[in-house]
Structure 1
Amino acid sequence: MHHDRPVGELLREWRHRRKLSQLDLAIQAEVSTRHISFVETGRTIPSSSMVLHLAEHLGVPLRERNRLLVAAGHAPVFRQRPLEDADLAGAREALQQVIRGHEPYPALVVDRRWNLLFANAAADVFLNGVGPKLLRPPVNMMRLGLHPDGFASRLRNLRQVRAFMLPRLARQAARTGDPELSALYEELLSYGTEGDDGPPPDPTDIALPIRISHRGADLCFLNTITTFGAAFDITLEEIAVEAYFPADAETARFFHGRNTASSE
């Protein structure tokens, strides 16, 4: 298991993941290269404050910082509670308000592995008509988007979406060191065929347009992802809100028209 390994080995792995030399890290963290070397080889067991100091400069996610602390023989300091926890009732309500406030356009809340936590009513544009197996909890939005039985068949620019989403997922898996994200990436990669992916998006584009057919309408969205810098709480740090905005007048009219009809 990841947390059974020595803290020095884990820190060295994170340093390599960030493509830093011992000297780079020593300069950034303002500690001696010798101390970094001693920690990584196990000659020195770092204090909890030193573990957190190095982890901060390595950009280690909060969940993994707890593992580093435990590996060094210290108590974890970051809280991890299920989103259903009574103490997170305020956060749940705030998230619901955010996605309800985005109506009539789609918005949803996902966890660190892109599993769906909440969605507003307009998000049915993505859930409509997908295979029943993909709607069994946990519903994974990455899988839902690229699986042949998901809404991939309704994506009019599937190649471009794959070319945008797969590298993003690969970077996320590398950044977090999460083996489940790596497995998800390999799974999604297998859905395409060689030469299937389109050209990478223009780096000057503010966002990738998502073009989808829905109930006879051709819709086009831009999406944004919002995360929360919630210090000391793993659950909240790992949550993201995906909000979809109409990228053209026809899409805006579709949702406003549907909203008007539903309120009559």
Structure 2
Amino acid sequence: METVGALLRGWRHRRRLSQLDLALAADVSARYVSLVETGRSRPSADMVLRLAAHLDVPLRHRNRLLVAAGFAPRYSERPLDAPDMSAVRGSLVQVLQAHEPYPALVVDRRWNIMMANASVSIFLSDVDPELLVPPVNMVRLGLDPRGLASRIVNLTEVRSFFRARLSRQAARTGDPVVGALYDEFFAEAAPDGPVPPLESEVAIPMIFRFGDLELRLFSTITTFGTPHDITLEELSIESYYPADADSADLLRGIAGTRPFPGTGIARTPGHPRRP
């Protein structure tokens, strides 16, 4: 049976903090942290959350810490297609459609595409149908040779960004599925080059070639601010922008030719499909 002390110690090690580091951040004594980790002191629910916040523990795992300490979970996890999430779905649809004619999509914590606007269709022609069976995984779609990898001119650079993001995400969340996804594409591969700095991920350069046409894009990542629901914390919106006038013209000319499979969203609001 897992104990709250062992779990907290695991997260502290993952964050590469000493007991003193955590104690100073949480305004408690290092001795108290030691007593909690060894099970000689039982923290209150508020103290569990206080320590978890300073360890940047994801909400999903904060619930696990609370249960291990003998308390009820604090954070809900509602499916995106639940009736009481209709306002969230509506907001996401508005964001996706407002971004047209440029591509935008919503992914979950494991990079499965939950929703997308019609402009994402530009990425789908000639993609192996196996990669488009829901849940469609954004990493596989982008890096698998049967997907977009053969069309990305600067694939080495793009792989470097994906490698950095997956590595950081696996370290932050401890999600074994994300870790397996990282291993699938990078565990046995030679390094693509130096890991790009975190701040550079605000604008990721990507160059695609479609026949005689070249499409230059950069992407931004948007997340929900201070969420109290696990589903919301684990969603992110990936928005793509043209990097030059020719790319903007190309996107305006072909956007909306077909909806993204499995989302139910084209140019009118629809309900996302759960993975």
> What is the TM-score normalised by the length of structure 1?
0.92
> Where in structure 1 are there 5+ consecutive unaligned residues?
none
Secondary structure in structure 2 of the residue aligned to 1:244: strand
Determine the C-alpha separation between the residues in 1 that align with 2:198 and 2:43. Answer: 41
Alignment of 1:76-155 (within 5 A): 76-155=73-152
Secondary structure in structure 2 of the residue aligned to 1:209: strand
- Quote the residue 2:272 is aligned against: none
Does the CA contact (< 8 Å) of 2:128 and 2:147 recur in 1?
Answer: yes
Does the CA contact (< 8 Å) of 1:219 and 1:251 recur in 2?
Answer: yes
- Answer yes or no: is 1:221 the counterpart of 2:217: yes
Letter in 1 for 2:151: R
Q: By how many angstroms is 1:35 displaced? A: 0.9
* Number of residue-to-residue matches in the alignment: 258
Letter in 2 for 1:147: D
Correspondent of 1:49 among 38, 46, 51: 46
Q: By how many angstroms is 1:130 displaced? A: 1.3
> What is the TM-score normalised by the length of structure 2?
0.88
- Could you say what the CA RMSD is over the residues aligned between the two structures, in angstroms? 2.1
Distance 1:250-1:50 versus aligned 2 partners, 3 A rule? same
- Quote the residue 2:252 is aligned against: 256
Correspondent of 2:179 among 168, 179, 182: 182
Determine the C-alpha separation between the residues in 2 that align with 1:140 and 1:261. Answer: 21
Determine the C-alpha separation between the residues in 2 that align with 1:232 and 1:130. Answer: 37
- Answer yes or no: is 1:207 the counterpart of 2:203: yes
Does the CA contact (< 8 Å) of 1:7 and 1:40 recur in 2?
Answer: yes
Structure ranking higher in helix proportion: 1
Distance 1:202-1:102 versus aligned 2 partners, 3 A rule? same
- Quote the residue 2:234 is aligned against: 238
- Quote the residue 1:173 is aligned against: 170
Determine the C-alpha separation between the residues in 2 that align with 1:97 and 1:90. Answer: 11
Identity of aligned pairs, percent? 55
Does the CA contact (< 8 Å) of 2:164 and 2:195 recur in 1?
Answer: no
Q: By how many angstroms is 1:194 displaced? A: 3.2
Q: By how many angstroms is 1:246 displaced? A: 0.2
Determine the C-alpha separation between the residues in 1 that align with 2:242 and 2:230. Answer: 32
Determine the C-alpha separation between the residues in 2 that align with 1:260 and 1:133. Answer: 22
Letter in 2 for 1:213: R
Distance 1:204-1:46 versus aligned 2 partners, 3 A rule? closer
Distance 1:61-1:201 versus aligned 2 partners, 3 A rule? closer
Structure 1 residues 252-261 or 23-32, which shifts more? 252-261
Q: By how many angstroms is 1:90 displaced? A: 0.4
Alignment of 1:30-45 (within 5 A): 30-45=27-42
Determine the C-alpha separation between the residues in 1 that align with 2:256 and 2:227. Answer: 41
Distance 1:57-1:149 versus aligned 2 partners, 3 A rule? same
Distance 1:34-1:164 versus aligned 2 partners, 3 A rule? same
- Answer yes or no: is 1:72 the counterpart of 2:69: yes
C-alpha deviations, 1:45-79, integer Å up to 9, x for none? 21111100100111111011000001111100101
